[in-house]
Chain A
Amino acid sequence: MSRKVTIDPITRLEGHGKIDIFLNDNGTVDRAYFQVPELRGFERFAIGRPAEDMPQITSRICGVCPTAHHMAATKALDDLYNVDPPVAAKKVREMLYNIFIIEDHALHFYYLAGPDFVVGPHAPKAERNILGVLGKVGMEIGLKVIGTRKQLRELMVLAMGKAAHPVFGLPGGISKPIAKTDQQRFIDAADRAVEFGQFSLQLFHDVVLKNKTYVDHILSDIYTHETYYMGLVDDNNRVNFYDGNVRIVTPEGKEFSRFAARDYLDHMAEHVEPWSYIKFPFLKQVGWHGFKDGPDSGVFAVAPLARLNAADGMATPLAQAAYEHYFETLGGKPVHHTLANSWARLIELLQAAERMRELANDPEIVNPEVRSMPVETPVEGIGVVEAPRGTLFHHYRTDERGVITAANLIVATQNNAARIAMSVDTAARGLISDGKIDDGILNMVEMAFRAYDPCNGCATHALPGQMPLQVRVYDMKHSLIQEIRRD
């Protein structure tokens, strides 16, 4: 008898999602679907509002990565008003943005990936959480993580007004300069962040890379897809989170295209599937040929693994050394193993910390000249940043008063949607062979997308402690025959 298995909602994922697994009569997987409820109504909501409100409005879309939306919106406003911010403003923006990357990546590694890699995918479910992680590595590390994040968030509040909803970015600059008397705080925090980045990579080496089972998981075919990769790079093709050109490499690792954010519509198009609300972006020049690997499929990936593949190296020395070790260990560029995202994320964390340190020590960041006034009539603006979860595009059109007439957001999880769908399907097929679906197997299916750290944009409306995981098994007629709950 064919069965349908639903995992809804998914644990340890930013936002809501659902997996449906359809089983054949012989207990193997016919097809697994990863469904993402798309953000509803944003375009409609934005129309008729002043473009200058977008950094505030879009940062409220989600409590998880508000700074990424705030910065993409701010950069779209620079473009909309054709205004170039002063050097100090750009440097302060980049420093704050790197601080955000550090604290967000730390959150992912210790809270989301940690349970899989530190506690282990087959550990009892009650241990697969942050407390289980701390039980293994020591409570003092928990204090280190919380202390480092808290210090970074306090600096974000100092510079941006609010960590959750920054009131900071303006077209042509930022709302206030960094006070000279505060510079040392940034320097001290940056030193601590670099040390934290090195410590986290060492922890990954000691706990994950020295454990053959975990390394086998990373290298396993069920977590591997050969696709194109996208990421922002600087003039030297090094990873950059705040600015640069979008670079795409082929599944063989060769440069496929390199373009300014403004031209993204020449390179990307969107495919729609009847079973999902989300649109699946693909490479226009290759075309949509289904959920397939290889150079003939327009599917591409974003996020840490993709960024490292799309660049020629890291922009800072310690991160560069870690980058070289990464590719040596995993068999050269590009790396196609989805679970290697976690390692790539820590290398990025280290680069963000080193870049923060460079900028914190730069005398220019306390220059009070932080605003170029916009004087041109607005028409259209496009901004791009690397959100922790991948490339994020904001695109606005306005009337001559700067009132939005059209808005389009392509968020990181959307860019990754096709590859995430492939990853879930492949993992389910590889892991479920005889109709046997236990908690450990479900968790390993979930690991396939958790590595991307997908964020589906949502409100803060779940009553704490009341959001269980539900696994529902249906027969062919969609009658419920079994229900497993994780309360």
Chain B
Amino acid sequence: MKQKTVVIGLGNELFGDDAVGLLAVRRSAQIAPGQADYVETGLHGVALLDLLIGYEKAIIVDAVKTGRHPAGTILDIETGRLNPIDNPSPHFTGIPELIRLARELNVCFPKEILIVGMEVVNTEDMGTEMTGEVVAALDQLTERILSHVP
């Protein structure tokens, strides 16, 4: 049966630290199966709408690169703080645009969407090597995800 909460790990395992969201969600699913639906995906943009429709709450986990925090820092991002961009693409359609689109279309969409990010270093070079600080903080990221799972 479909759960009320979905935890979505975004990323690409072939691009170094970009795997962090996928790995943390995989661990969360092992620790607390049955408390939420866990999804690992490389999809983005409007395709995410398919994954979010029908849930009450969503936790999105992703690698974040701001350059303003040490690698491995966990960042809770409130979706309300993100500004929609004027010219979104399917590639860069962000959560604010998805929320707006879902609202306009009046589809069943999570009322609560949390983004849990981790500051990473390398997401550009193809390979499975990850930065040490990022790997070291994986357990902490998993704990943070689970703290949001009801």
Which residues does A use to contact B, with CB under 8 Å? 11-15, 39-42, 44-45, 57, 60-64, 66, 107, 111-112, 125-126, 128-131, 134, 139, 142-143, 146, 149-150, 153, 163-165, 458-469, 486-487
Contact = CB atoms under 8 A, between A and B. Distances in A.
Given A12-B90, A60-B13, 17 more contacts: A14-B90, A14-B91, A15-B91, A41-B126, A41-B127, A111-B45, A111-B93, A126-B86, A164-B47, A459-B11, A459-B42, A459-B124, A460-B43, A461-B65, A464-B82, A467-B85, A486-B86
Nearest to B46: A111
A41 B125 contact: yes
Interface in B47-94: 47, 49-50, 53, 62-66, 77, 82-94
23 contacts: A11-B87, A12-B87, A41-B126, A44-B126, A45-B127, A60-B14, A107-B90, A111-B90, A129-B86, A129-B97, A131-B104, A143-B105, A146-B107, A459-B12, A460-B10, A460-B44, A461-B62, A461-B120, A462-B92, A465-B96, A467-B85, A469-B87, A486-B86
Nearest to B120: A461
Contacts of B134: none
B122 to A, nearest CB: 10
Nearest to A140: B105
Given A63-B12, A459-B123, A465-B95, A142 B101 contact: yes
Contacts of A149: 50
A125 B94 contact: no
Nearest to A163: B43
* Max chain B C-beta neighbours (<10 A), residue from A62, A63, A486: A63
Contact-residue size bin, chain B (C-beta under 8 Å from the other chain): 35 or more
B11 A112 contact: no
A153 B115 contact: no
Contact of B107 (A14, A42, A107, A143): A143
Contact of A146 (B49, B120, B124): B49
Contacts of B126: 39-42, 44-45
A131 B87 contact: no
Interface of A is mostly: loop
Contacts of A142: 101, 104-105
Given A39-B126, A464-B96, A12 B101 contact: no
Interface string B4-29: 00000011111100100000000000
Contacts of A163: 43
A146 to B, nearest CB: 6
Interface string B108-150: 0000000101001001111100000000000000000000000
Contacts of B97: 129, 131, 464-465
A461 B125 CA distance: 12
A164 B51 CA distance: 12
A463 B64 contact: yes
B17 to A, nearest CB: 8
B90 A63 contact: no
A164 B43 contact: yes
A475 to B, nearest CB: 27
Contact of A461 (B82, B89, B98, B123): B123
Given A42-B126, A463-B64, A139 B104 contact: yes
B41 A164 contact: yes
B66 to A, nearest CB: 8
Contacts of A460: 10-12, 18, 42-44, 62
Given A41-B127, A150-B50, A465 B94 contact: yes
Contacts of A60: 12-14, 42
Contacts of A467: 85, 92, 94
Among B50, B84, B88, B91, max chain A CB count under 10 A is at B91
Contacts of B90: 12, 14, 64, 107, 111-112
